[in-house]
Amino acid sequence: MTWTSLRVTAPGRREAASAALFGAGAQGVHEDGTALVTHFPPEVDVAAVIRQVHLAIPDAVCETSPTEPIDWSIHWRDKLSAHTLGRLTIAPTWLAEGHDPATTIVIDPGMAFGTGDHPTTRGATRLLQDIMHPGLVVADLGAGSAVLSIAAAKLGASRVFAIEYDGDAIGNAEDNVRRNDVEGIVHVFEGDATILLPLVAPVDVVVANIISSVLVELLPAMHGALRPGGRAILSGILLEEREAMLDAIAADGWRLEREDVEDVWWSITIAKA
């Protein structure tokens, strides 16, 4: 029987689009550039799913096409792989065997909390390796699966504060921290980063892989939390948003130190001007 593939494009709103799709009954979602793709069996009213997406994101572009039946328990795993980024390797649990535990980040990604296999995560990880050295204190905002928090710990951080607003992601983050034997370094907190970040300050590094509109809102809190000489790594920014983000960081008293581009995604390291 023919299934229906639904492709949703909502630049800058991928988290909201993902939540809408799962709320409408999607069993799995994968990213394709700036779009999210999911598949539904014939008994699902896909038109109703699209209406639900548009309630959450009125300007989302939804496209459908016929597809073969999908077993999500297999399909989403097939989309993942172990990959090396500089000194680190990121691997899902079922592909971790044979890699050096000291430099391998083992992630059980769950269905919606981050696999470490996305250009925004890769960009942030590459930039993190450029500035990390033993003893630094790091805050990870929008920690998700805690992949970047674990990366910071593996790169020598003395303490990492993993801050996540989504309560559903907290258990996954805590499991991944234990799985990587860094629970003595990485501390997971649930709540609003604008409230929690000042409480854990001062820090040497802030890393945030979040949509650009939220990053702009967090810039003042990041600025206030950093020690002199500290840096922030921002990811989750579309390349088309580059100029607007440059204006925002300049207006808030930052200077650009380094850029990383992969596909349509732009990640940056910034420091106080």
64 class by beta-carbon count within 10 Å (0-12 exposed, 13-18 middle, 19+ buried): middle
Q: Fill in the amino acid letter for 108.
A: D
Contact 93, 133 (CB under 8 A): no
Which residues make up the CATH 3.40.50.150 domain(s) of the chain? 80-272
pLDDT of residue 97: 86
pLDDT of residue 110: 58
43 class by beta-carbon count within 10 Å (0-12 exposed, 13-18 middle, 19+ buried): exposed
Torsion of CA 26, 30, 36, 37, to 10 degrees: -60
**Residue listed under structure tokens 């951080």:** 157
Which phi and psi angles does 150 have, rounded to 5°? Answer: -65, -40
In CATH, the number for domain 3-76 is 3.30.70.100
Q: What is the 3-state secondary structure (H, E, C) of 137-189?
A: EEEEECCCCCHHHHHHHHCCCCEEEEEECCHHHHHHHHHHHHHCCCCCCEEEE
Which residues make up the CATH 3.30.70.100 domain(s) of the chain? 3-76
Q: Cα separation of 10 and 57, whole Å?
A: 8
pLDDT of residue 26: 83
Instruction: Report helix, strand or coil for 135.
Output: coil
pLDDT of residue 220: 97
Q: Could you list the pLDDT tens digit for every one of the 273 residues in the chain?
A: 789 999 999 877 777 788 788 888 887 787 777 788 998 989 999 999 999 999 989 999 999 999 888 765 566 666 677 889 999 999 888 888 889 999 999 988 654 446 677 888 999 999 999 999 999 999 999 998 899 999 999 999 999 999 998 887 898 899 999 999 999 999 999 999 999 999 999 999 999 999 888 999 999 999 999 999 999 999 989 888 999 999 999 999 999 999 999 988 899 999 998
pLDDT of residue 112: 45
Q: Cα separation of 216 and 47, whole Å?
A: 35
DSSP label at 241?
Answer: G
pLDDT of residue 100: 93
Torsion of CA 110, 195, 240, 115, to 10 degrees: -10
Report the DSSP beta bridge partners of residue 107: 92
* Domain 80-272, classified CATH 3.40.50.2000, yes or no: no
Q: Alpha-carbon Rg of the chain, whole angstroms?
A: 19
pLDDT of residue 79: 66
pLDDT of residue 95: 81
Q: pTM score, two decimals?
A: 0.80
